[in-house]
């Protein structure tokens, strides 16, 4: 899988060079651009690789070179126009009458160099690597950021891949206060029409609500007063959690007759025998 590296400035006349494929290496040291997904790749990664590295790869890698300036410090990356054009947003920069099309330079001041690096890694290989972090919450925030970028640059394949990576987290022990941080990130940048990612996040809310102290409960109450999709998603998730609990209880009762048979009433057969004896 490709690892994005910083590239040097290129002469303007080198429009058919392949700086990314030369300088970006896989962890094993082989060329970064792969022509087909590896057998060990996940199904989602293979599906997305088919979108990014498919027929026409050769044409993409001989297309003009653009310089990407990431963040306020203008960290430089270079990438092929044909690869960038997989994003309809980037394609407009490359092929329109915008200044970027003539200067072959695209500034992304609101995106960090890490984010742009992962974005380019995905566009070239169909997958991207996450940072190794101690807290699953930090990785969840990183994935949420990538999902927002995928939505911003109209890359549905990247959205699917990122959702798969989030679902693939073996554990997600979010601290209660961190729930609000993630909520503000997700609900502040992802469209209301985008159900999958928001629904997955909101499923954690009902669990954490029961553990909140007074201050945290007040914070959640304020968010609920504002309403919007966060309140709606929390309600739906809570409702689904209760429905699942009822269904599970019903299944347990059907499997164990002792759970479904009502207890015998007091004063039954024993009391009647005693009554006969006294008469």
- Cα 53 to Cα 128, 159, 173, 277: the distances in Å are 14, 17, 36, 91
- Cα 261 to Cα 26, 28, 254, 255, 258: the distances in Å are 63, 63, 10, 12, 5
pLDDT tens digit sequence for 205-242: 665 666 666 776 676 677 666 556 666 676 666 676 67
What residues make up the domain containing 90?
Answer: 63-124
Say yes or no: 99 and 134 in one domain.
no
Q: How many CB atoms lie within 10 A of CB 86?
A: 20
pLDDT attached to residue 49: 43
Say yes or no: 168 and 245 in one domain.
yes
pLDDT tier, 245 (very low <50, low <70, confident <90, very high otherwise)? confident
**Which whole number is the average pLDDT over 139-155?**
90
Say yes or no: 82 and 96 in one domain.
yes
Say yes or no: 220 and 247 in one domain.
yes
pLDDT higher than threshold 50 for residue 197:
yes
- Cα 143 to Cα 19, 147, 168: the distances in Å are 27, 6, 11
pLDDT higher than threshold 70 for residue 70:
yes
pLDDT attached to residue 215: 73
What is residue 109's DSSP assignment? Answer: T
pLDDT higher than threshold 90 for residue 269:
no
Q: Is residue 246 part of a domain?
A: yes
Token reading at 232: 């709606």
Say yes or no: 118 and 204 in one domain.
no
Count of domains for the chain: 2
Say yes or no: 143 and 234 in one domain.
yes
DSSP string, 16-49: T--HHHHH-BBTTSSBS--SS--TTS-HHHHHHH
pLDDT tens digit sequence for 74-108: 999 999 999 999 999 999 999 878 889 889 999 99
pLDDT higher than threshold 80 for residue 176:
no
Q: Is residue 221 part of a domain?
A: yes
* Residue of 169, 258, 179 lying closest to 224 (CA atoms): 179
Distance (Å, whole) CA 67 – CA 85 = 14
pLDDT higher than threshold 50 for residue 16:
no
Q: Is residue 234 part of a domain?
A: yes
**Which whole number is the average pLDDT over 102-130?**
94
pTM score:
0.60
């Amino acid at each position: 899988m490709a690892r994005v590296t910083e590239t040097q400035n290129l002469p303007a006349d080198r429009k058919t060079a392949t700086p990314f494929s030369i300088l970006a290496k896989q962890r094993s040291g082989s060329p970064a651009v792969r022509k087909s997904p590896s057998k060990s790749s996940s199904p989602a990664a293979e599906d997305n690789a088919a979108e990014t590295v498919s027929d026409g790869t050769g044409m993409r890698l001989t297309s003009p070179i653009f310089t990407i300036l990431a963040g306020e410090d203008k960290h430089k990356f270079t990438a092929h126009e044909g690869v960038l054009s997989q994003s309809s947003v980037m394609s407009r920069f490359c092929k329109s009458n915008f200044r970027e099309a003539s200067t072959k330079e695209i500034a992304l001041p609101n995106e960090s160099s890490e984010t742009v690096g992962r974005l380019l890694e995905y566009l070239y290989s169909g997958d991207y690597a996450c940072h190794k972090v101690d807290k699953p919450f930090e990785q969840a925030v990183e994935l949420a950021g990538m999902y927002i970028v995928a939505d911003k640059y109209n890359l549905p394949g990247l959205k699917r891949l990122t959702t798969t990576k989030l679902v693939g987290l073996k554990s997600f022990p979010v601290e209660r206060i961190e729930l609000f941080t993630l909520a503000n990130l997700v609900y502040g940048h992802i469209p209301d029409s985008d159900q999958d990612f928001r629904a997955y996040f909101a499923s954690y809310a009902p669990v954490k609500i029961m553990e909140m102290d007074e201050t945290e409960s007040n914070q959640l109450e304020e968010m609920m007063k504002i309403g919007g999709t966060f309140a709606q998603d929390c309600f739906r998730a809570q409702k689904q959690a209760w429905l699942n609990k009822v269904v599970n209880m019903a299944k347990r009762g059907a499997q164990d007759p002792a759970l479904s048979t009502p207890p015998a009433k007091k004063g039954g057969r024993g009391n009647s025998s005693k009554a006969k004896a006294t008469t």
